Amino acid sequence: MREGNAVQEVTEGGLLGGKIRYRQFSAGHRSGFEPVLLAASVAARPNDRVLEAGCGAGAALLCLGHRLPNLSGLGVEIDPDLARLANENFKINQLTDVSCICSAVEQLRLPSEFEHIMANPPWHDRASTQSPDRFRALAHHAEPSLLGKWIDSLAACLKPRGSLTLILPNACLSEAIGAMHAQGFGGVTLFPLWPRAGRPAKLMILAATLGSHGPDRVLPGLVLHDANGITQEAQAVLRDGAALDLRAA
């Protein structure tokens, strides 16, 4: 795979404690815990169809496919090299009904056939400087209106009563919730990811249902670290592939 005239080196590692083979580029954006937690938050069931927007090399769909072996999924990725790498990852992990297409999310023209959509969108930070690395810039830097455009486009791909799940920094919450409400989502649920007990959460998982009239709410969330390292609750998700129940009161 090439970026200009340079060969992009690919490294192979694992997800969920090695249960999943995962190949990604050695330079640029590297997958962290966000796609694993995102996949754990989607309440998909067998025979549901799931879309991931901005899927990168496919980490979230791979984790969801581990929990639901017969997953029917589609990834959308703007970078053609990453889209090809995602399809390779799906193949080597035998996810036969999961694939990735190359497209800008805000330009999607797909039928409303998905029960669930998940995304870790790029977001705009006025205080940040855009990375000179193309892959990191695509993943971490967005024009100010892009998040709203993503939500508008993804809403059109959902079936009625379908769910949209996002993982975002706190700076984007008001924009994301406003765009969700404008597209007819209700019951917006905020699930904080606490770095440690008593510390402010920097990231949130947001989930909402298209056409729901339920109230918005904030759940207790998940504490990621304690004095011994990663908490047992977080380990259950990050290493064992357990689901997070965003429906719990």
Q: Which amino acid is at 49?
A: R
Q: CB-based burial of residue 22 (10 Å sphere; 0-12 exposed, 13-18 middle, 19+ buried)?
A: buried
Closest CA to 12 of 101, 99, 88: 88
Residue type, 121: P
Are 85 and 25 within 8 A, CB to CB? yes
**How far is the C-alpha of 98 from the C-alpha of 102, rounded, in Å?**
14
> 215 is in which domain, residue-wise?
2-238
Q: Is residue 246 part of a domain?
A: no
Give domain status of residue 249, yes or no. no
Q: Are 149 and 39 in contact (CB under 8 A)?
A: no
pLDDT at 4: 47
Would you state the pLDDT for residue 31?
Answer: 79
Angle between helices 59-67 and 80-92 (to 10 degrees): 20
- Looking at the domain assignment, is residue 243 inside a domain? no
pLDDT for the residue 84: 97
Run means of pLDDT, 10 residues per run, the chain, 249 residues = 60 95 85 94 94 97 94 96 97 97 96 97 61 48 83 97 96 95 97 97 97 95 97 97 83
CATH number for the domain spanning 211: value is: 3.40.50.150
Element (H, E) at 181: helix 173-182
Cα distance between residue 6 and residue 155, in whole Å: 38
Whether 78 is in a domain gets the answer: yes
Domain total of the chain: 1
Answer whether residue 171 is part of any domain: yes
